[in-house]
Structure formats: structure tokens, C-alpha cells
Homo-oligomer: A and B are copies of this chain.
Amino acid sequence: MVKICIIGSGNVAQHLIAAFLEAEKSGSKIQLLQVYCRHKQSLTKLLPYESLTDNLNALIEADVYVVAISDDAIAEVSGQLPFKNKLVVHTSGSANLESLSDHNRKGVFYPLQSFTKGKDIDFKNIPICLESENPTDYQTLEQLAISISDHIYAINSGQRRALHLAAVFANNFTNHMYALAKDICDESKIPFEILQPLIIETSQKTSTLPPKMAQTGPAIRNDHKTIEEHLQFLQDKNKSNIYKILTQSIQKYGKEL
């Protein structure tokens, strides 16, 4: 049985709480003992009042303390924990293992997903990236991760930094492409929903074909005529600049089948 305390009440903390409670119900060998949050009211929908504390010194004995708070606060809060030599993990994609206080054994329990508040999510499909200072702690984290997800990866701090950066391209920048596309649609009174099936198909293709091989469009075809037409059409300097740079990058980079 792995006993857990969670520290935090934000987006990631709430999704983890819900996932651990669900795992407990379905008989996983884990137990969510307690959650620390500054304002108990913020979590009374998820947990009974007696499972909550707003006092770090009142944290009870557990096997893992999951610090699910903003990157900036990890060093300070982990330094305030009133115990020593326990397993304390953070949930951040960009914070270093070393950002945790030296008082305890360090680890990372990083669920790679963009959580939207209030939107239910099937944790089973969310990859969880684990790191620890020693193999025994890794096993504990693995047991915890397996209880809520089917996709567990050992990822060290260097890899996690790279992964977080890759996620910026795959998620944040991709979403910005959608935003620019919607803008172009709006200007011509075209419903953005027309692009939906194409957007879904493009994203799903990544599971069957390396994206480099799946590249289509005027850039990879070296279709100068269409590229020129598009650049003429784009009055907005920011969009035409992005168009040029990404077209060049595709041409330098990719190769159509």
C-alpha cells in the first residue's frame, strides 16, 4: 500500500486528487491520506473536510508527498516541510529535480497533459514521467503511477526539459496555428468548424506516420505560385512573417513521400 499526501489545490492537484480517489475505489493499492491547501474551502467538493489541512506542520506520515504547486513555489514550500528523509516529488515539466529541498528524498511525478479546469480527463491515457534519486523510490512512484495511468516513462531532468520544450511546439505553438487559422476564417466570414475534421485528422496521423513523412502542402511541394498567392493575400505582417519562416523551415527540413 502506497500512502500519499498531496500538497496543492490547483489544476494539477485537483486532477490528481480525483484520479487517486478513483484508483482507490477500484481497488488499487494506494491511499490518499491528506491534502494540504491554503484554503480548505477550495477542495471540499472533492474531499471530506477532515482530509484537508491548511497547516504544513499538521501533515501526517505518508510514503509519498506530492507537491503539485507552481514552479516558483516548489523550493520554498518543499523547504518548509516539517520532516526529513521522506520521498517528496514535484509534478512540474520544467522544474529541476534539484529545485526540491535537500531535507528529503527527491523525485518527479510529471503528468504530461494540458489540464483544463473543470474538464474531466481520462487519466489512463495521460503519460506520467517519473524520476527519483534511487531505485526503491522509483518503484514506489511507479506503483503510484500505474494506479492511475497506463503510460509510465522513466524521464530524467535533462530529458524532461527537452520534453517540456517539445510540448511547447506540439501543444502551445500548434494551438497558436489554430488561432491564426481561425483569424483568417473570421476575416472571410468562413465558419472555423470547416477546418475541424482536417485538424483532427492531422493530429491523429502522428500515431501512424512520422510527422516529417506526413508533411503536405505548398511548402513541401515547392509550389511557388501558391506560396506567392498566399503571401499576397496575407495583409497582416505578423502572419506573413510566420508564413515565410515556417515555409522555409518545412522546405529545409521535411521531405514529402
The stretch of A57-65, A132-140, A205-213 that contacts the partner chain: A205-213
- The answer to whether A188 touches B217, judged by C-beta atoms less than 8 angstroms apart, is no
A126 to B230 Cα, complex, angstroms:
23
- The answer to whether B230 touches A165, judged by C-beta atoms less than 8 angstroms apart, is yes
Query: Could you say which of B71, B209, B253 contacts A238, with CB atoms under 8 Å apart?
Result: B253
Closest chain B residue to A124 by CB distance? B197
Q: Does A219 contact B (CB under 8 A)?
A: yes
Give 1 or 0 for each of A189-231: 1 = CB within 8 Å of chain B CB.
Answer: 1111111111111111111011110111111100000100110
Q: What are the residues of chain B within 8 A of A219 when measuring CB–CB? A: 168, 172
A216 to B181 Cα, complex, angstroms:
17
Give 1 or 0 for each of A104-133: 1 = CB within 8 Å of chain B CB.
Answer: 000000001110100001000111010000
- Shortest A73–chain B CB gap in Å is 13
Q: What are the residues of chain B within 8 A of A155 when measuring CB–CB? A: 190, 194
- The answer to whether A202 touches B112, judged by C-beta atoms less than 8 angstroms apart, is no
Q: What are the residues of chain B within 8 A of A202 when measuring CB–CB? A: 114, 170-171, 174-175, 203
Among residues 33 to 84 in chain A, which have CB atoms less than 8 Å away from a CB atom of chain B? Answer: 71
Give 1 or 0 for each of A228-249: 1 = CB within 8 Å of chain B CB.
Answer: 0110011000100111011001
Using a CB–CB cutoff of 8 Å, the interface residues on chain A facing chain B are 71, 94, 112-114, 116, 121, 125-127, 129, 151, 153, 155, 158-159, 161-163, 165-182, 184-185, 187-207, 209-212, 214-220, 226, 229-230, 233-234, 238, 241-243, 245-246, 249-250, 252-254
Please provide the 4 A-B residue pairs with the shortest distance between their CB atoms, ordered closest to farther: A172-B217, A203-B203, A162-B188, A178-B211
